[in-house]
A and B are shown apart, each in its own frame.
Chain A
């Protein structure tokens, strides 16, 4: 398994954004689509192309490090930023609980990457454009919902089924966070209705990238 390079100046995940190529799963999918094996339902088909957008040859470790970066971001958001914007009541309890859970995600992902014989990506510095409870919660909604899309988008490309199951275990929790935050700010807990849309890495970085300083 290739080592993730954590010593370059550029953020390692950003370096992957422009690379074309297909993962093995994408190749199989394209074969299936060519054979006409496309579900007759419009509800399912869109995700398929979303989940397999060409993102470059991301191995399991790269995917996990991408997830780790997002978890570092969410943990810092709740645990550090969350203490500076005057959260009260339910917002404050959510920030505390979700921050603990994101921190657990960080620890587990880092451990898993090491168990796979690779180096976890270093924690970046972040900058969150939130000044009060309202803007904090609005950003929380964006981050959690983006997190769901990120995991659902990347998971089918995972080669290891154990890692896939683990990613599923985490994304479920992100979805729970997302629903709770959305409800708190008067938004639908199911913004994508019956099917949570998978996001490409590019789409994820469009939301999360600007918050990453290093």
Chain B
């Protein structure tokens, strides 16, 4: 992942589909994944949410099982998104409560948190409509140390969230869920860009074409934030 302001621009001669089949090596390298004991509990949580068995031994296996569960691919995707939105909502709530920000920044945090909360509500409704059981709200834990570190973390999380939605878009079967996912996806991108401007970090870290992140990559990246 490029860290300069122009992003990693690729030759425009490549078609859009070629770009997509390139793996997300850059993103995997960028995301620092702290090893933790959260894997087993998170795996169990994902399985429980999607009604699968409890035999999986890793988060990736758990997610694969969840995706293929009787609830259907869309339920798994919506619950996955719901989980991420729960975490984002909780993160912003904790940041708002920390008192680290004031003025315009505090207002932005409050606004973004409120928007994440509407994503939670929409996705809960979506899962129910699709005949599934909404994933339980996970307990999150976030390092809240300084305004700068928190903003950096928010930037990372929002970029990850946008990549997560992008990574699922093509897998969604239900047209209404797809429309909702697209509507949410671009809002996460707006959040990420906003935080980029606050930090002086890239507004378009992937350049002209945002890169998707697959479910296992994202779940591994959020593991450290599960209590």
Contacts and interface: CB of A to CB of B under 8 A. Distances in A.
Contact of B183 (A164, A166, A172, A195): A195
Interface string A74-94: 000000000000000000010
Contact of A195 (B6, B13, B20, B118): B118
Interface residues of B, number: 62
Contacts of B15: 108, 111-112, 115
Contacts of B128: 40
Given A111-B15, A155-B182, A190-B115, A175 B170 contact: no
Contact of A175 (B17, B111, B178, B186): B186
Interface string B147-176: 000000000000000100110011100111
Contacts of B162: 172
A173 B209 contact: yes
B175 A189 contact: no
Interface stretch (B37-45, B95-103, B200-208, B217-225): B200-208
B176 A48 contact: yes
What bracket does the count of chain A residues touching chain B fall in?
35 or more
A171 B118 contact: no
29 contacts: A32-B175, A37-B129, A37-B176, A38-B129, A40-B125, A44-B179, A44-B180, A47-B180, A47-B183, A101-B9, A104-B12, A107-B13, A111-B15, A152-B182, A152-B183, A155-B178, A155-B182, A156-B175, A166-B16, A168-B210, A172-B189, A173-B206, A173-B207, A179-B191, A179-B203, A183-B197, A189-B194, A194-B114, A196-B186
B190 A103 contact: no
Given A165-B170, A173-B189, 17 more contacts: A29-B176, A32-B175, A37-B129, A47-B183, A112-B17, A166-B19, A167-B16, A169-B166, A169-B211, A172-B185, A172-B189, A173-B210, A178-B190, A180-B193, A190-B187, A194-B114, A194-B187
